[in-house]
Structure 1
Amino acid sequence: MKRAIVMVMALAVSGALAGCGARNDIRPKKGESLPVAPYGAKAPPPAQDLLKPSTQARPSRSDELLKTSENRRSDDFDLPPPN
């Protein structure tokens, strides 16, 4: 009995999550408009540009491998805590 309840709950949750994934054209709600154009821009940016994260928000990944071990240089400010 518990197994059947767990299965029904799992199906309900997966169905609810599947409904969240619907993708339609992004448009402002009726009666509302996009944000005003930034200072110096001739027109407001389209909705797709507003949803694209900036490079600062999502930095590119560096896959450079460390090929040789390197000793750290001394750090003059790495002092022990005072007593």
Structure 2
Amino acid sequence: MRHALFLSLLPLAACGQVEPLQPAVGTRAPVAPAQSARAPTTEEMLTPPTVARPVRQEDTLRRSEEREDDPFDLPPR
């Protein structure tokens, strides 16, 4: 049973190749987007836009201020 599991997972170990991505043989890279001067490179397509990684805001208060009373901040029952 162990050997069968090992042999079934062995091909997965080989699929982590480290080399630049290239289009498959006989196919072309994606065409340039509308109103773009050139097609994006592989690195540009793999880099997430800034919208996908928003900046984290820790707290909306910038200075040491008293917080307003919160009518929904009730003690537990």
> Shorter-chain TM-score category?
0.5 to 0.7
In structure 2, relative to structure 1, the CA distance for the partners of 1:71 and 1:38 (3 Å cut) is same
TM-align CA RMSD = 3.4
The superposition leaves residues 23-62 of structure 1 with CA deviations (integer Å, 9 ceiling, x where unpaired) of: 2221112232112212232111112211223333x43473
CA distance in 2, matches of 1:19, 1:53: 27
What TM-score results when the alignment is normalised by the length of structure 2?
0.55
Q: How do 1:2-81 and structure 2 match up within 5 A?
A: 5=1, 7-56=2-51, 58-60=52-54, 62=56, 64=58, 71=70
Relative contact order: is structure 1 or structure 2 higher (C-alpha 8 Å, sep ≥ 6)? 1
Unaligned runs of 5+ in 1: 74-83
Identity, % of aligned positions:
23
CA distance in 1, matches of 2:4, 2:70: 56
Unaligned runs of 5+ in 2: 60-66, 73-77
